[in-house]
């Protein structure tokens, strides 16, 4: 036998058995996005490498070590499989001058790529829901995005405050961060002996990220570090407090986490994460914030932006851990066809039923009556449509109820299917 080929490490097939949860999530997202007036904007999976280097910042985990970058062998272009969606969204609205007529609220779902060590909840190809609001400067839209995620949790049956909790912080404006950065570097230099290798490397390039360290040996040091919040000016504090006032009024509990800094350089003012206690160290299911300088930085006319990314695999793992399921989706009917020679009589009837909106599964490839009925039962269908030789000879099909033991089998005319199709619809 020829050698069996396998998928790339860390990149997964999504099998039919897992699809119901994916589709449930995707359908729920579409519904919630429409309710808030967000519209689709789908960007390519491959973008110029420079977009991410300039957009995310050179000294970030993603740009330093996680990007799938390659040279286009046809023309030598430097390309990258998108590791996140915001930079591409910004490129697209700049390229199409999409804010010309005013602010824009957009979203997309799709694969992202990061070269990480694969483990549960961390893959090399994973999927995100990405939502962005462009052109709104006020905290109203920050609050709206956060509440929209809460609405999504509620639709899926997740409880805020226990299954998922909200953390927020403010990163202020660049000048405020600069003053804080100087104080932070001075503090870290004074305690240089306690820094690990990564922190030493980032001390002058990206000291804020040191606060985000997962190294337990450095926790005490970072806990006592100068806080960005203490360097925020009046306007930044007002933005943060206005956001808090809306969340408070909406009855959404949150924790202010002064150490929340996020992984990309583009953020300012509001940042937030939704975390869960159920997924070990892959605790963040959704993260986002404001990026008022990014559009300009990527060559657009200055305009504010705010958005978030939600890790779909992590969220589905969470739903699975909590045994949250989509409502059962059984077909209305299952067609049992003892003799495949009858297909020319059978298929037009199935097409009529499906055109009436019914979900009808055809047992493929024949097989014994017994095995066909077993499959009909396992499908969850409420009815078996039995195309036996006797029925077909009379121009009929037998309807056998599979779920209601008290109901009796009966026959219907093949020619008049449109008239009785409604009877089969699942209650």
Restricted to residues 220-279, the positions that interact with ligand ATP (CB under 6 A) are: 263
Contact status, residue 33 vs residue 131, Cβ threshold 8 Å: yes
Instruction: Give the one residue of 47, 176, 313, 396 binding ligand ATP; rule: CB under 6 A.
Output: 313
Specify burial of residue 193 (Cβ count, 10 A radius: 0-12, 13-18, 19+).
exposed
3-state secondary structure of 383: strand
Is residue 129 near ligand ATP by the rule CB under 6 A? Answer: no
Q: Does the annotation place 114 within a ligand binding site?
A: yes
The residue within the footprint of ligand ATP, chosen from 282, 294, 332, 399 (CB under 6 A), is: 282
25 binds ligand ATP (CB under 6 A): no
> Which CB atom, from 49 or from 363, has the smaller least distance to ligand ATP?
49
User: How wide is the angle at C-alpha 411 spanned by C-alphas 410 and 413, nearest 5°?
Assistant: 155
Among 24, 38, 52, 123, binds ligand ATP (CB under 6 A): 123
Return the range that interacts with ligand ATP (CB under 6 A); candidates 17-25, 121-129, 326-334, 414-422. Answer: 121-129
Per-residue contact track with ligand ATP, 27 to 66, x per CB under 6 A? Answer: ----------------------------------------
Smallest gap from Cβ 240 to ligand ATP, in A, equals 20
Among positions 172, 207, 287, 300, the unique one binding ligand ATP when judged by CB under 6 A: 287
CA 352 to chain centre: 37
- Residue 314 is a binding residue for ligand ATP (CB under 6 A): yes
Taking CB under 6 A as the rule, does residue 309 contact ligand ATP? yes
Q: Segment contacting ligand ATP (CB under 6 A): 177-185, 200-208, 282-290, 391-399? A: 282-290
Indicate whether 155 belongs to the interface with ligand ATP (CB under 6 A): no
Length of the chain: 427
Nearest distance in Å: CB 171, ligand ATP: 14
Q: Is 291 annotated as a binding residue?
A: no
Of 145-153, 174-182, 311-319, 387-395, which segment contacts ligand ATP by CB under 6 A? Answer: 311-319
Residues near ligand ATP (CB under 6 A), total: 18
CA separation for the pair 102, 93 (Å, rounded): 12
Q: Which stretch binds ligand ATP (CB under 6 A): 72-80, 285-293, 298-306, 332-340?
A: 285-293
Instruction: Kindly give, in sequence order, each residue whose CB lies less than 8 Å from that of residue 104, ignoring residues fewer than 6 positions away.
Output: 39, 93, 98, 133, 134, 135
Q: Has 100 been labeled as part of a binding site?
A: no
What is the strand order of the sheet 268-275 is part of?
Answer: 39-40, 104-113, 125-134, 305-311, 284-290, 268-275, 165-170, 254-256
Tokens representing residue 303 in the block:
């305009």
Per the annotation, does 273 bind a ligand? no
What is the token pair recorded at 238?
Answer: 């007002």
262 has binding-site annotation: yes
CA angle 13, 15, 21 (to 5 degrees): 110
88 binds ligand ATP (CB under 6 A): no
Tell me the Ramachandran region of residue 141: left when phi exceeds 0, alpha when psi lies from -120 to 50, beta otherwise.
Answer: alpha
Please choose, out of 23-31, 163-171, 306-314, 367-375, the segment that lies near ligand ATP by the rule CB under 6 A. Answer: 306-314
Vertex 224 angle, CA 218 and 225, to 5°:
85
Choose between 172 and 287: whose C-beta lies nearer to ligand ATP: 287
DSSP 234-299: HHHHHHHHHHHHHHHHTT--EEE-TT---S-TT-EEEEEEEE-TTSTT--EEEEEEE-TTHHHHTT
Residue appearing with tokens 């109820």: 401
Residues 396-425 that bind ligand ATP (CB under 6 A): none
Q: Contact region for ligand ATP (CB under 6 A) — 32-40, 49-57, 308-316, 411-419?
A: 308-316
Q: What backbone phi and psi angles, to 5 degrees, belong to 269?
A: 45, -125
Closer residue to ligand ATP (CB): 43 or 282: 282
Residue ranges at the known binding site for L-histidine: 84-86, 114, 128, 132, 262, 266-267
Binding region for ligand ATP (CB under 6 A) = 84, 114, 116, 121-123, 126, 128, 263, 282, 284-287, 309, 311, 313-314
């Amino acid at each position: 036998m020829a050698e069996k080929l396998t998928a790339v490490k860390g990149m997964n097939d999504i099998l039919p058995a897992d699809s119901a949860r994916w589709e449930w999530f995707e359908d729920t997202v579409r519904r919630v996005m429409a309710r808030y007036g967000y519209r689709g904007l789908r960007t390519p999976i491959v973008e110029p490498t420079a977009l991410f280097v300039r957009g995310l910042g050179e000294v970030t985990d993603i740009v330093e070590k996680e990007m799938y970058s390659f040279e286009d062998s046809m023309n030598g272009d430097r390309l990258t499989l998108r590791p996140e969606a915001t930079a591409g969204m910004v490129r697209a609205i700049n390229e199409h001058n999409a804010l010309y007529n005013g602010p824009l609220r957009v979203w997309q779902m799709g694969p992202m790529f990061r070269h990480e060590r694969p483990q549960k909840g961390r893959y090399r190809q994973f999927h995100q829901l990405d939502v962005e609001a462009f052109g709104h400067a006020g905290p109203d839209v920050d609050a709206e995005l956060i509440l929209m995620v809460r609405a999504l949790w509620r639709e899926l049956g997740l409880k805020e405050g226990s299954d998922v909790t909200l953390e927020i912080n403010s990163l202020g404006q660049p000048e405020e961060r600069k003053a804080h950065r100087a104080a932070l570097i001075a503090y870290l230099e004074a305690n240089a002996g306690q820094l690990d290798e990564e922190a030493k490397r980032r001390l002058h390039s990206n000291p804020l990220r040191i606060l985000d360290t997962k190294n337990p040996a450095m926790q005490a040091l970072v806990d006592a570090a100068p806080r960005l919040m203490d360097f925020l000016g009046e306007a930044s504090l007002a933005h943060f407090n206005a956001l808090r006032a809306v969340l408070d009024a909406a009855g959404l509990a949150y924790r202010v986490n002064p150490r929340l800094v996020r992984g990309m350089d583009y953020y300012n003012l509001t940042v937030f994460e939704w975390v869960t206690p159920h997924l070990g160290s892959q605790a963040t299911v959704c993260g986002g914030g404001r990026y008022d300088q990014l559009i300009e930085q990527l060559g657009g006319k200055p305009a504010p932006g705010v958005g978030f990314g939600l890790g779909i695999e992590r969220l589905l793992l969470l739903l699975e851990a909590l045994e949250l399921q989509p409502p059962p989706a059984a077909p209305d009917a299952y067609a049992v066809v003892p003799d495949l020679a009858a297909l020319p009589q059978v298929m037009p009837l199935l097409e009529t039923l499906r055109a009436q909106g019914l979900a009808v599964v055809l047992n493929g490839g024949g097989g014994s009556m017994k095995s066909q009925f077993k499959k009909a039962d396992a499908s969850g269908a409420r009815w078996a449509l039995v195309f036996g030789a006797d029925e077909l000879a009379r121009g009929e099909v037998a309807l056998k109820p599979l779920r209601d033991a008290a109901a009796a089998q009966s026959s219907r005319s093949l020619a008049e299917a449109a008239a009785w199709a409604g009877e089969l619809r699942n209650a």
